[in-house]
């Protein structure tokens, strides 16, 4: 687990005594990350369809939930993230010796990608 994530969680969440279960559960988008957090910090994590739906709702309505966002801020952030992701994929394909760069859609949520993740509509 990333040291920055560890520090953030330790600062943000109530401490869990060694050998005890946490009195709360943390919703995590990725199951592997949930397991790593649970192992490292002894925090009960939930990663299922309900948490996926919650994250989807947060992404869909982030501009209304966060007062500091102005209209269009979220769209710009999503576009920038999409461009960065595509550049990384092109570099990765070129480094792997692939003839043409593949464009892949993000298949699953990544850690702490709450409000800036690209939202896919059902029409795609």
- The per-residue pLDDT for range 32-73, each reduced to its tens digit, is 999 999 999 999 999 999 999 999 998 888 777 888 877 777
pLDDT confidence band for 96 (50 / 70 / 90)? low
Per mean pLDDT, which range of 70-79, 94-103, 105-114 is the poorest?
Answer: 105-114
pLDDT confidence band for 104 (50 / 70 / 90)? very low
Three-state DSSP class for residue 27: strand
Domain edges within the chain: 3-46, 67-116
C-alpha span between 74 and 60 (Å, rounded): 10
C-alpha span between 35 and 40 (Å, rounded): 9
Strand partners, 44: 25
Q: Which runs of E-coded beta strand occur in 6-46?
A: 25-27, 44-46
Closest CA to 51 of 123, 114, 119, 121: 114
């Amino acid at each position: 687990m990333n040291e920055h994530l560890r520090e953030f969680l330790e600062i943000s969440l109530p401490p869990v005594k060694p050998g005890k279960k946490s009195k709360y559960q943390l919703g995590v988008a990725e199951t592997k990350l949930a397991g790593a957090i649970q192992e490292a910090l002894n925090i009960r994590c939930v990663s299922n369809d309900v948490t996926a739906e919650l994250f989807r709702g947060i992404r869909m309505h982030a501009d209304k939930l966060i007062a500091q966002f102005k209209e269009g801020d979220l769209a710009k952030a999503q576009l920038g993230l999409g461009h960065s992701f595509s550049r990384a994929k092109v570099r990765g394909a070129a480094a792997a010796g692939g003839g043409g760069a593949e464009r892949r859609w993000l298949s699953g949520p990544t850690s702490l990608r709450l409000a800036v993740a690209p939202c896919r509509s059902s029409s795609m």
